[in-house]
Amino acid sequence: MSVKHTLLALLYQRPMHGYELGKQLALTVSAEWDVKPGQIASTLARLKDANLVDYEVVPTDDAPDRKVYALTDEGLEELRTWYLSPEVRDYRLGDAFYVKLVLSLTGGPVPPEQVLMVQRRELYQQLHEVTELHRKADAQTELPWVLLLDSAIMHLEADLRWIEMCEARLPELKRFTPPKPEPKARGRPRRKVPQPEDQSAN
């Protein structure tokens, strides 16, 4: 996720200082996205260098002076561009588990049956946790969070169905043999011997 654009989006709503941005982010985006205060501070510094935000120093009585950040015109244009740019979601083409499964099929210390079993167990555990979060969520006040949990549940259920398909086709999968790379020629390439010029015309 883009911390840069998230901060710009929050600053579009109203000017805020760094600590306030961190609190507002946690309250607005209920997803499990832990953004550290240091990351917010460093991102704000980069946004200031890029002239996407500016700040005003506001004195306080009981704390050090605070930098209250606001969007610049360039920041507003950057934010508009971000909102109008579609996101390509990751459908796990070549993810870590896929690579692990293929390597277990081609010969590894752990059989593919066990690799699939361990992954299925983890997916069921994740599904249980997300379903519990969904049960506790209030659709009246947390509808965006509920819809995100719905998406997570659907993806986990799809992954579990894919694991079942792999298990059902294990006999075929075990016959998979990757092609061997073509052998590289050894030694230096043979030098071309210059041919004498044809003297027959003389």
CA proximity to 31, closest of 155, 132, 152, 148:
148
Whether domain 3-83 has CATH 1.10.10.10 = yes
Residue type, 126: Q
CA 101 – CA 80 distance, rounded (Å): 42
Alpha-carbon gap, residue 200 to 123, rounded angstroms: 82
CA distances from 121 to 68, 117, 124, 128 (A): 47, 6, 5, 11
Q: Are 2 and 82 in contact (CB under 8 A)?
A: yes
Per-residue pLDDT 10s for the chain (202 aa) are 689 999 999 999 999 999 899 888 888 876 667 788 899 999 999 999 999 999 999 887 777 788 999 999 999 999 999 999 887 766 666 678 888 898 888 887 889 999 999 999 999 999 999 999 999 999 999 999 999 999 999 999 999 999 999 999 999 998 988 887 777 666 666 666 666 665 555 4
Amino acid code (one letter) for 51: N
Q: Are 36 and 62 a contacting pair, CB within 8 Å?
A: no
pTM of the model: 0.70
Spatial separation of the C-alpha atoms in residues 86 and 37, rounded to whole Å: 28
DSSP letters, 139-165, are TTT-HHHHHHHHHHHHHHHHHHHHHHH
